[in-house]
């Protein structure tokens, strides 16, 4: 089971106690400092996506079953999941062996790519 949450407060948030409890039972919970677009993906067969239109309820959603849409939503979810930090309800979990975070590596790679482009151009 994977669960994602946004710590930005504009999407949805989970109580730390809940995250700690489900983590004890094997769930993976992650959080982002920016919005994590709320969606539920079930076996790559159904997606439930929040309705982002103005004037709709915060709980309104759409059901998608088209394979192309499901692949797109899965791609978005995977990107957000990769950027998110593991969370078990307390302080953020970090790999004790890691010298850098995923975010710092992405910044470094982007900087290196920009430098390479300048050398080529």
pLDDT of the residue at 6: 45
Q: What is the pLDDT along the chain (121 residues), one digit of tens a residue?
A: 445 544 444 445 667 787 788 888 888 777 777 777 778 888 889 999 988 888 888 888 999 999 999 999 989 888 888 888 777 676 554 555 555 566 676 777 677 767 766 777 6
pLDDT of the residue at 121: 62
pLDDT of the residue at 25: 84
Q: How distant, in Å, are the alpha carbons of 24, 32, 60, 79 from that of 70?
A: 30, 22, 19, 14
pLDDT of the residue at 48: 93
Pairing of strands 2-6, 28-32: parallel
Main-chain dihedrals φ then ψ at residue 109, nearest 5 degrees: -60, -40
Q: How far apart are CA 79 and CA 74, in angstroms?
A: 9
Contacts of 42 (CB under 8 A, 6+ apart): 48
Contacts of 69 (CB under 8 A, 6+ apart): 47
pLDDT of the residue at 70: 93
Helix 67-83 and helix 102-120, axial crossing angle in degrees, nearest 10: 100
Q: How far apart are CA 86 and CA 70, in angstroms?
A: 24
Residue of 8, 76, 84, 15 lying closest to 47 (CA atoms): 76
Give the tokens for residue 9. 């407060």
């Amino acid at each position: 089971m994977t669960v994602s949450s946004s710590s930005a407060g504009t999407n949805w948030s989970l109580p730390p106690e809940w995250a700690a409890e489900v983590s004890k039972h094997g769930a993976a919970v992650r959080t982002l400092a920016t919005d994590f677009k709320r969606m539920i993906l079930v076996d790559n067969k159904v997606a439930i996506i929040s309705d982002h239109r103005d004037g709709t309820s915060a709980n309104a959603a759409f059901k998608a079953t088209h394979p192309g849409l499901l692949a797109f939503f899965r791609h978005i979810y995977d990107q957000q999941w990769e950027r998110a930090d593991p969370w078990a309800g307390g302080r953020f979990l970090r790999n004790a062996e890691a010298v850098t975070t995923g975010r710092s590596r992405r910044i470094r790679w982007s900087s290196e790519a920009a430098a390479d482009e300048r050398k080529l151009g």
